[in-house]
Amino acid sequence: MSSRQALADSAKPAPDLLSEWRERLVAYRARSRQEPLFNPVQHLAFELSVALERGEVGLRDIAAAAKTLSDEALIDRAERLRRYLGLESDKTGGGADGAGGQPGRARLTALVRGTTVGNAGATTPFEDFAALWSRPEDGIVFTAHPTFAMSQALRELLTDLVEGRKPRAETERNLRNLPHRPDQPITLDSEHEQALSALAQAQDAVATLLRTILQVAQEVYPDRWRELRPAPISLATWVGYDLDGRNDITWVDSIRFRLQEKRWQLERYARRLENILAELPTDDAALAAAQTAIRRLREELQAVARQIAAFHGDLEGPAALTTAANSLTRRRDGGLGNSTANLIDNLNEAVEAAGQQEAARSFAVLRSEIQLHGLGAGLIHLRINAAQVHNAIRKPLGLAPATEMESRVLLNQLDRAVEDLPRETVNFASLALESATAVRQFIAIAQILKHIDGDKPIRLLIAECEHPFTPLAALYFARLFGVEDRVDISPLFETEQALEHGAALVESLLKTRSYRRYIGARGRLAVQTGFSDAGRFIGQVPAALAVERLQGQLAGVIEAAQAAEDLGEIEVLIFDTHGESMGRGAHPASFRDRQDYVLSPWVRQRYRARGIRLLHETSFQGGDGYVFFGRAELALAVLAGILEARLADSGPAQDDPFYAAYLFNRDLHERLRSFQTRLFAEADHSTLLTAFGTNLLVATGSRKTSRQFDGRSDSRVAAAALRAIPHNALLQQLGYGINLVAGLGSALRHDRETFAGLHARSDRLKVIVDLVRRARALSSLDTLAAYAALFDGAYWVARPRRERETGLKEGCLLLAEHLRDDPRFYAMLRLGSALREDAIHLDDLLAEIGVESGIGAEGGDSRRSADPALLQSLRLALIQHIFLLAARLPKFSTRHDMSQDDVIALTTRLRVLETTQLLRRIFPAGQPIAADYQLDEAASYRGAEAIDYAEMNRQLIDPMLSAFEIAQDLTVGISHCFGAYG
């Protein structure tokens, strides 16, 4: 049991203390309206710190309060999610757009029935109904970015609260025993298992939708329903296949994961088929076909089990790899191999032959599932980056290492090379011996298609794609290994340059003969747009506007290419990657707003008007995203929300005045982007993000966040080197969502009346402003200022002047000396002042449209249960306690290559785990004394025996670690207030 768990378990929650602290925060906020420089968060944290140092409250009290507040934040999060998904009506008016609390199944049925009724109440022709449901227009992708801040047990309890089927009192009792922290360690295998769990719920929900479509078709089109092959939504995953920014996933891992997914999926198909057979009369004409199908499934399951076992061992040596490879590639009779074709034939026969309508429908549902999912748990996305592609193409093109890839001459050379390319065959030795990452990915694709699942295409995502040369180079290898007909090469546009020039990049690609032929043969052009790095570098709202503009421009590019080039009818696939929090592009108001935010009705209309098919995929990210698929009812509600956005009759989107006001639209984007990019480039912003390194955060995934620290000084990691999730998480934890909130007030300070008039008439502008409003409600500049004050030497000098804290004098003076002129204080102070000026303009702007600044902003009501300011005050008090404990350590020699100054330097960076490990070596506890040795030989000399520092460990080192662990639990509690981590 950890020290923090012991503390939490040994103390009961203190409702009287919490009530008192809440009331103090209310009073301090009222006082701040009279005294502009008074900081409620900082003052409450100071009073808690004083009480903690005087022993009036202990770490047990703080741990119990942290647990209670985090529990309340999780319960609030569940209530918001219920409204978000439309599982209950929202009395505040911010719910799921009229879903009215209907269960997801009922909403799906209503949606499907609605599509059978056309104009003037006439029945929709079967061909139109079939066309609507027979190809996906939406897709779900499960990703595993490091957002597993909750343990699996806590996440399951959250889904219980959201679903609401278990008794609320029982669920809340169970919550008392669960800490707010991640499982450790979080491994790639555990992430893959959790992704499969989410996929299981998603597949069950899709099966329910398939059954609904077929049942409605049975009723409305009784003579033709068996012709229907519904495929309404696609499912995919990149967990285990994403190599962008990590080198710990090998090709063996990817092959092993795909084999595991194949077994997982075959077992699901076999169970479905066995359940149908159990209900089928023994004289039914479909029996023979169904029995053949189940035999094929069982034979393939046996083969896959052997293959998984072979690929689970050490495959470093040629002999081991030979055995494993041959077990997968050796031809065999029976089973399925890499195709479901024979299985589909059996089910076609069963659908037509089944005497019972219900049995026929069950066979038809399973047939559609198999056609939709293939031989894997979902479609797979392999991701690499542009640099890996460039490194791979240099050798076959004979390019020098310094060759720039932006030459039109070089693009034309590559185009000719792709056209004239001879095909190569590969095997697993090719895969083992290849050193270039990008080439290895293409060989892995070839082997997966040949030997595991050849029915379903594979997506190749290319990050940092800013020139047409990059996708064309990827096409070179796809063609080289003969997989271009089943691979969708998808450039990722998420940097400022890529979003600005992405449409031009695609236009240039379509002018190359090889790429145009490839797209025409595939019948699909795939792109990925990212809200993560874009939202961090240029701000979330400018990123959303840039993504929207790119999405719309692509429709024009395709239309022009179809008119001018030999390009036939194609589908455009747009994969929007974002997270669950506002910091990465998921709108917090409702699920409908979430969908419309990343793919606006205006964009959908541009594709419809041009007759261009559109497939739109969105991501559900890691532990937070998997919450949406934690229970059956949640998954059904997600599907209903996706289809409601697609099928909604929202009127002609081009009439939204936001788009007609082109100059306002463009100016808004440019002013916001300029504000955010300037802010991001400033040294003060970088200093804020690196004030504690990443030590305020918890480990939330298998992809680690690198730290670049050395000795007593902190070689600061540049803000640009931080990944999007820790970047956003740090902003959450420091109290102010800069990349969400900052800039809008300043951008529109002179155009408030124009803005207000447009906002009243524009749905798009309402959605954008509501995102900012909700982020503002959770952002507190008082909190940011309170963190800055930790590095203020003047604060530590002044503190022991109070009579009741004279015992802290030496420690406070030591901290003051160390923090004198600390650049973190001045940088955070300057940044906070600039942000406060912008926030004043934002609050005035919101007031112009009759919106309050929000419950979490200064002046809000701290008596609500999940006030982040109270959680922050607790953590600020804990951090001060950690600083003071370090400052009270006795001076020691530098024989351990450490000095007291080094300890203070480490501690003020919150490198507490490292610090306490070092201190335990310097001040060891439990050292033996002479009396512990029962020796026959006597000795009179005692000498300089080792000192036992047990008391120092108990009074200083152990509490330092305990305080830090409680502070990290509060990190997760604060993330509940935002509804996601990072």
Q: Which of 793, 826, 785 is nearest to 812 (CA)?
A: 793
Mapped onto helix, strand or coil, the DSSP state of residue 141 is strand
Q: Using the predicted structure, report yes or no on whether residue 371 has a pLDDT greater than 70.
A: yes
DSSP string, 787-813: HHHTT-HHHHHHGGGSGGGGGGHHHHH
Q: Which of 104, 107, 85 is nearest to 94 (CA)?
A: 85
pLDDT, tens digit, 9 for 90 and up, residues 120-136: 889 999 999 999 999 99
Q: Using the predicted structure, report yes or no on whether residue 595 has a pLDDT greater than 50.
A: yes
Non-local (6+) Cβ contacts of 729 within 8 A are 583, 697, 975, 981, 982
Distance, CA of 751 to CA of 492 (rounded, Å): 35
Q: Which of 540, 947, 736, 700 is nearest to 186 (CA)?
A: 700
pLDDT, tens digit, 9 for 90 and up, residues 261-296: 999 999 999 999 999 999 999 888 999 999 999 999
Distance, CA of 917 to CA of 966 (rounded, Å): 18
pLDDT-wise least confident of 23-37, 105-119, 168-182, 915-929: 915-929
pTM (predicted TM-score):
0.93
- List residues bridging with 761 in a β-sheet: none
Helix, strand, coil % in the chain, rounded to nearest 5: 65, 5, 30
Q: Using the predicted structure, report yes or no on whether residue 769 has a pLDDT greater than 60.
A: yes
- Comparing 842 with 713, which gets the higher pLDDT? 842
Mapped onto helix, strand or coil, the DSSP state of residue 981 is coil
Q: Using the predicted structure, report yes or no on whether residue 890 has a pLDDT greater than 90.
A: no
Average pLDDT in the 21-39 region? 94
717 is written with which tokens? Answer: 């990691």
pLDDT, tens digit, 9 for 90 and up, residues 848-862: 999 876 544 433 344
pLDDT, tens digit, 9 for 90 and up, residues 452-490: 999 999 999 999 999 999 999 999 999 999 999 999 999
Q: Using the predicted structure, report yes or no on whether residue 1 has a pLDDT greater than 70.
A: no
Q: Which alpha helices (DSSP H) does 648-751 contain, by range? A: 657-660, 662-681, 683-689, 724-734, 738-741, 744-747
Distance, CA of 562 to CA of 558 (rounded, Å): 6
Pairing of strands 571-577, 613-621: parallel
- For helices 632-647 and 59-85, give the axis angle rounded to 10 degrees: 50
Distance, CA of 713 to CA of 410 (rounded, Å): 46
Output the average pLDDT for the chain: 90
**pLDDT at residue 434 in the model:** 94
**Strand spans (E) along 40-129:** none
DSSP state of 954: I
Q: Could you give the C-alpha distances from 793 to 43, 437, 683, 875, in angstroms and in order?
A: 17, 50, 21, 20
Q: Could you give the C-alpha distances from 537 to 463, 493, 533, 621, 827, in angstroms and in order?
A: 15, 13, 6, 20, 19
Pairing of strands 233-237, 138-143: parallel
Q: Which of 386, 392, 405 is nearest to 460 (CA)?
A: 386
Q: Using the predicted structure, report yes or no on whether residue 905 has a pLDDT greater than 80.
A: yes
pLDDT, tens digit, 9 for 90 and up, residues 816-836: 999 999 999 999 999 999 999
Percentage of the chain beyond pLDDT 90 is 77
Q: Are 976 and 76 a contacting pair, CB within 8 Å?
A: yes
The CA-to-CA distance between both ends of the chain, in Å, stands at 28
**pLDDT at residue 713 in the model:** 40
Distance, CA of 546 to CA of 556 (rounded, Å): 16
**pLDDT at residue 862 in the model:** 41
Distance, CA of 103 to CA of 629 (rounded, Å): 15
**pLDDT at residue 333 in the model:** 78
pLDDT, tens digit, 9 for 90 and up, residues 54-78: 999 999 999 999 999 999 999 999 9
Q: Are 229 and 134 a contacting pair, CB within 8 Å?
A: yes
